[in-house]
A and B are shown apart, each in its own frame.
Chain A
């Protein structure tokens, strides 16, 4: 049981490049989330999904797109990376049907130069 797996773990991008971060969970969780972690700030919600085929904006969605074509996968895309998107990105998932804690992935450290 791998839990929540994020790929890649590290990446350096040049300004203007695009990339996709993959989050995969094997727990059959309904809900999935993308957060970013910046120094001195709490985890901030980028986008989330309440089920396969659905996505919604979080607190800081600008510059990012997401897709949830399969229940187990939640993709985060950066179409044109900017230095302000340098951050550590965390994916999380949780069961539906009640108040459950989140299971987090190990994070992706992204640097945009």
Chain B
């Protein structure tokens, strides 16, 4: 079973500030890394899927980077807004053809107006 760890567990950020958090995963046999946003009372929503070392993806004010050699990914939020309050999940998959996507426990982000 893959070990995917996220830090911090929770985070309070002032509206307008930028923030980032981390996802760590085993670097051996890495295949893909997913990020999801999970708002309260809703379903997880896919943000990014990354596979290559050095990948950077951006969606509006949210961006992510991937380092497969050292086994980590960062998610950045620029100029936080109240609607960014959510739990951010990362998940990793090893080996081509393996459908077992393993999720971390998430980082719960609260934006303070």
Contacts and interface: CB of A to CB of B under 8 A. Distances in A.
Interface of A: 4, 31, 33, 35, 40-45, 48, 50, 56, 58-59, 90, 99-107
Interface of B: 1, 4, 32, 34, 36, 42-49, 51, 89, 91, 99-106
Given A42-B104, A106-B43, A107-B43, A101 B99 contact: no
Contact of A43 (B32, B46, B47, B103): B103
Given A99-B32, A99-B49, A101-B36, A59 B102 contact: yes
Given A35-B103, A50-B99, 20 more contacts: A33-B99, A42-B104, A42-B105, A43-B44, A43-B89, A43-B103, A45-B101, A48-B99, A56-B99, A59-B100, A59-B102, A90-B43, A99-B51, A100-B49, A102-B34, A102-B36, A102-B101, A104-B43, A104-B44, A106-B43
